[in-house]
Structure 1
Amino acid sequence: MSAQAHVKKPGWITNKVFNPFVAFLTRRGLSVWGSRVLAVRGRKSGEWRTTPVNLLTVDGRQYLVAPRGHVQWTHNMRAAGGGRLLLGKRVDTFTAEEVADSEKPELLRAYLKRWKAEVGVFFNGVGPDSPEEDLRRIAPNHPVFRVTIEP
């Protein structure tokens, strides 16, 4: 099965109400549970593309997790190798390194502990209390990037 087969398209409410509302608040400096606006250059156009994301911190390291799977921002991130995280007027430029599937279970568990109510539907019944084998099974479907903020 191709990576695209695992993409979960957001519903109308998410696309038209929730994401724009979170992005609106985040652009004004109000982080909603770690929200940021991700800006990454398009791999074909070179134009800046933005989307709201949840910035996960585990053991002092920061990560971006793609709950909906291999979507446009993940393809752009692979090509660009980094981007910007926006919170109000604050702009953090970062580099990104994709995390290997074998490292993802701990990160997916932490992500689901924090945001399951918001994104749990995209993980096919796997939650923060699921067995390790379930997290390993879904790991290839959810890109994770380790973020390093540039000084």
Structure 2
Amino acid sequence: MAEQRYLKPGRIEVRLLHNTVGWLTRHGVSVAGSRELAVRGRKSGEWRRNPVNPLTVGSERFLVAPRGHTQWVRNLRAAGDGQLRVGKRIEQFTAVEVPDAEKPALLRAYLSRWKWEVGAFFDGVGPDSSDGELLRIAPDHPVFRITEHN
């Protein structure tokens, strides 16, 4: 199996960006549509939280992992469900990973919306890139289709 890409955030980024966005989101302030993802740890069973940018395409919603095969990705694969939070609003969801062949349109939509924030993690590929370029990087960026529980 090929090594899976994961770009680990630096300490300063975690402290300034993740912690700040996470704190704001927990207190009801969504930054550009951000949510706090909560997923049970695959080993500990404890809730693990990370800020994410949910993507809506048509009537479907997705989570895209710009940094690659992160811990939250591994936990979500194992758990199959989680929560998206903003303030006191908690949305329960189930997740199904999207095959690479379906990712180009989703990655294009994601980059159209958040390239300013996450573009550095996509190796120069952007919303105007060809389907072939987006398909080439698709294995490096897991995408999950999420469905809200009623």
Q: What TM bracket, shorter-length normalisation?
A: over 0.9
State how far apart, in whole Å, the 1-side matches of 2:103 and 2:13 are.
25
Letter in 1 for 2:108: R
Name the residue aligned to 2:3: 2
Divergent runs of 4+, >6 A:
none
Q: 2: distance between equivalents of 1:91 and 1:68? A: 24
Distance in 2 of aligned mates of 1:115 and 1:65? 11
Kindly report which structure 2 residues correspond to 1:1-151, keeping only aligned pairs within 5 A, or say none: 1-3=2-4, 6-151=5-150
The CA deviation at 1:86 is 0.5
- Distance in 1 between the 2:13 and 2:125 partners? 20
| Count of aligned residue pairs for this structure pair | 149
* 1:36 maps to amino acid: R
**Identity fraction in percent:** 61
Amino acid at match of 1:80: A
Per-residue deviation, 1:130? 0.7
Q: Superposition RMSD on alpha carbons, in Å?
A: 0.8
TM-score (structure 1 length as normaliser): 0.96
The structural deviation recorded for 1:19 is 1.0
Secondary structure in structure 2 of the residue aligned to 1:9: coil
Instruction: Encode CA deviations 1:64-99: one digit per residue, 9 max, x unaligned.
Output: 000000010000000000101101000001000000
Structure 1 unaligned blocks of 5 or more: none
CA distance in 2, matches of 1:71, 1:92: 22
2:9, 2:105 → 1: CA distance?
Answer: 25
Offset at 1:31?
1.0
Alignment-mate amino acid for residue 127 of structure 1: G
Deviations 1:2-48 (A, max 9, x none): 11xx2112233321101111111111111111100000000111111
* Unpaired runs of at least 5, structure 2: none
The SS at the match of 2:15 is helix
Cα distance in 2, alignment partners of residues 10 and 118 from structure 1: 13
SS of alignment partner, residue 62 of structure 1: strand
